[in-house]
Amino acid sequence: MRDYRIAAIPADGIGREVIAAGLTVLEAVQARHGGFRLIVEQFPWGSDYYQQHGRMMAEDGLDRLRRFDAIFFGAVGDPAIPDHVTLWGLRLPICQGFDQYANVRPARVLPGISPPLRNCAPGDLDWVILRENSEGEYAGNGGRVHRGLPEEVATETSVFTRSGVTRIMRYGFELARHRPRRLLTVVTKSNAQRHAMVMWDEIAAEVAQDFPDVTWNKELVDAMTTRMVLKPKTIDVVVASNLHADILSDLAAALAGSLGIAPTANLNPERKFPSMFEPIHGSAFDIAGKGIANPIATFWTASMMLDHLGEREAAAKLMSAIERVTAISAFHTPDLGGTATTAQVTEAVCDALRSANV
Ligand code: ATP
């Protein structure tokens, strides 16, 4: 029996509902598959913890998480606390502390989902957006002076390092190499940002030399938004900076049908530290507590986690159970135009896993 230690951090809003659903489905995967066991420990960190303790996570939080094989994360954000406090207090310290520099965000139109684009046939939209997750525009490098005075100044300076850009480019080319179409689009803004983005482009061209089997091109981030909408079929793997990919991946999630479906993995590819798996969506307080959050993003995330742990067959089984359920409109939650509840979708995926033919 292979044992994996999983740290579950449901955190805020619908994060709690979807992580509970995800853990239920992961139990069904283990029962179906056999051969491995997930030993899950839950951490009560997040905005409620902040209200009680004045911090989003325990002081020794990273040390406690370090021992785990993976982190299964819900969402952070609470209307009562500024977003930069919640984000910089929990999610970003984990991503940065564990050097999870590769943020992998698949977007695909799953069976039964009607994407918002006219003329987008199944299979036309099958992308992986790779987000640089450790530096760039979200490096936290800046400050404010003369606070509150008319002459107040705030700076937010991007940080792009040769090593940081090289490693994300290499990861992007590797990812593209292992996909059937072997296409990589490098998103840039080197026409307007003439220092960091020019280096970004140069490094892409250098790394490309080692991947002659990958076809690649550059696209300005603004042009990329129109290409995603007008020519989805021309896109396969996309690598972009922290800010650019943050925006493009929300667009990708919407184009694939709903934010409630989109998963993400924050990877430390060298496996020196645990990687973190989470749905793309936030804590969605508008629907929290109503039992209608779409848990599919979290289930897909769970499948990515199993894949990362090396349980490829279990990951594939979970993915095929998910696709069976999305194919049936009676199991669509309100974000997909249906009336199903989180519990109903969860039960349907567990049922599919129990059935012999997934
Ligand atoms: P953040 O800033 O953390 O991204 P946000 O509140 O801006 O948070 P989300 O929480 O992701 O954004 O929610 C955006 C919208 O999408 C909300 O209207 C929410 O109800 C909807 N939404 C997000 N996730 C889901 C989900 N899993 N199921 C159903 N609807 C969702």
- 218-260: pLDDT as tens digits: 999 999 999 999 999 999 999 999 999 999 999 999 999 989 9
109 within a domain of the structure (yes/no) = no
For residue 339, being part of any structural domain is answered with yes
Task: Clarify whether residues 334 and 249 are in a common domain.
Answer: no
92 in Cβ contact with 116 (< 8 Å): no
Name the residue with the closest Cα to ligand 1, atom 17.
284
Ligand 1 atom index nearest CA of 284:
10
Is ligand 1 within 6 A of the CB of residue 338? no
Strands 142-145 and 153-156: antiparallel
- Domain with 201, as residue range(s), is 115-256
State whether 206 and 302 are in the same domain: no
Say yes or no to pLDDT of 339 above 80.
yes
Confidence label for 170 from pLDDT (cuts 50, 70 and 90) = very high
Domain-embedded: residue 110: no
The residue among 256, 274, 308 that closes a domain is 256
In this structure, the answer to whether residues 280 and 329 fall within a common structural domain is yes
54 has a pLDDT exceeding 90: yes
The reply to whether 245 and 281 lie within a common domain is no
Cα 194 to middle of ligand 1, angstroms: 34
Ligand 1 nearest atom to the CA of residue 286, by list position:
20
Residues 163 and 241 in one domain: yes
Whose CA is closest to atom 21 on ligand 1?
284
pLDDT at res. 265: 98
For residues 104-133, average pLDDT? 92
Does residue 341 line the site of ligand 1, with CB under 6 A?
Answer: no
Give the pLDDT confidence score for residue 80 in this predicted structure. 93
279 with 244, same domain? Answer: no
Task: Count up the domains in the chain and report the number.
Answer: 2
Do 126 and 227 fall into the same domain? yes
Residue where a domain stops, chosen among 256, 284, 312:
256
Q: For the whole model, what pTM was predicted?
A: 0.94
Q: Give residue 284 CA to ligand 1 midpoint distance, Å.
A: 4
285: domain CATH number is 3.40.718.10
When mean pLDDT is compared across 83-87, 229-233, 283-287, 344-348, the lowest value belongs to 83-87
pLDDT score of 130 = 98
Assess if residue 108 is contained within a domain. Answer: no
The 10s digit of each residue's pLDDT in 10-51 is: 999 999 999 999 999 999 999 998 899 999 999 999 999 999
Alpha carbon nearest to ligand 1 atom 12, residue: 282
Model confidence at 178, in pLDDT bands (50, 70, 90)? very high
* Dihedral pair phi/psi, residue 144, rounded to 5°: -130, 135
Q: Which atom of ligand 1 is nearest to the CA of 77?
A: 3
Give which of 273, 297, 301, 314 is closest to 37, Cα–Cα. 314
Q: Are residues 205 and 124 in the same domain?
A: yes
**Phi and psi dihedrals of 122, rounded to 5?**
-55, 135
Q: What is the pLDDT of residue 123?
A: 86
Q: What is the pLDDT of residue 121?
A: 83
pLDDT value at 356 more than 80: no
What pLDDT sits at residue 187? 98
Ligand 1 binding pocket includes 15 (Cβ within 6 Å): no
Q: What is the mean pLDDT of residues 281-310?
A: 97
Domain shared by 225 and 314, yes or no: no
Residue 229 is predicted with a pLDDT of 95
Q: Whose CA is nearest to atom 5 of ligand 1?
A: 282
pLDDT at 358: 74
| Binding site membership of 264 for ligand 1 (Cβ less than 6 Å) | no
CA 130 to ligand 1 centroid distance, Å: 21
Q: What's the pLDDT at 31?
A: 94
pLDDT at 119: 81
Q: How many CB atoms lie within 10 A of CB 164?
A: 18
Q: Are residue 124 and residue 250 in the same domain, yes or no?
A: yes
The reply to whether 105 falls in a domain is: no
Distance 115 CA to ligand 1 centre (A): 17
pLDDT value for 248: 97
Please give the radius of gyration of the chain, using alpha carbons only, rounded to the nearest integer: 20
Mark which of 221, 256, 291 sits at the end of a domain. Answer: 256
- Can you give the chain as a three-state secondary structure string? CEEEEEEEEEECCHHHHHHHHHHHHHHHHHHHHCCEEEEEEECCCCHHHHHHHCCCCCCCHHHHHCCCCEEEEEECCECCECHHHHHHHHHHHHHHHCCCCEEEEEEECCCCCCCCCCCCCCCCCEEEEEEECCCECCCCCEEEECCCCCCCEEEECCECCHHHHHHHHHHHHHHHHCCCCCEEEEEECCCCCCCHHHHHHHHHHHHHCCCCCCEEEEEEHHHHHHHHHHCHHHCCEEEECHHHHHHHHHHHHHHCCCCCCCEEEEECCCCCCCEEEEECCCCCCCCCCCCCCCCHHHHHHHHHHHHHHCCHHHHHHHHHHHHHHHCCHHHCCHHHCCCCCHHHHHHHHHHHHHCCCC
State residue 246's pLDDT score: 94
- Asked if residue 155 is part of any domain, the answer here is yes
How long a stretch of residues is the chain?
A: 358
The percent of residues above 90 in pLDDT, for the chain, comes to 92
Average pLDDT, the chain: 96
Supply the pLDDT for residue 101: 98
Q: For residue 202, what pLDDT is reported? A: 98
Q: How many angstroms does the Cα of residue 9 sit away from the middle of ligand 1?
A: 18
Q: Is the CB of 21 under 6 A from ligand 1?
A: no
Same domain, 229 and 160: yes
281 lines ligand 1 (CB under 6 A): yes
Is it the case that residue 139 has pLDDT exceeding 80? Answer: yes
- Residue 106 falls inside a structural domain: no
| Per-residue model confidence (pLDDT) at position 9 | 98
Catalytic residue annotation: 138, 189, 222, 246, 250
pLDDT value at residue 222:
98
Same domain, 49 and 124: no
Q: Is 336 in the pocket of ligand 1 (CB under 6 A)?
A: no
Between the two ends of the chain, the Cα-to-Cα distance in Å is 22
Mutational pocket test of ligand 1: of 73, 259, 326, 341, the residue with most ligand atoms within 8 Å of the beta carbon: 259
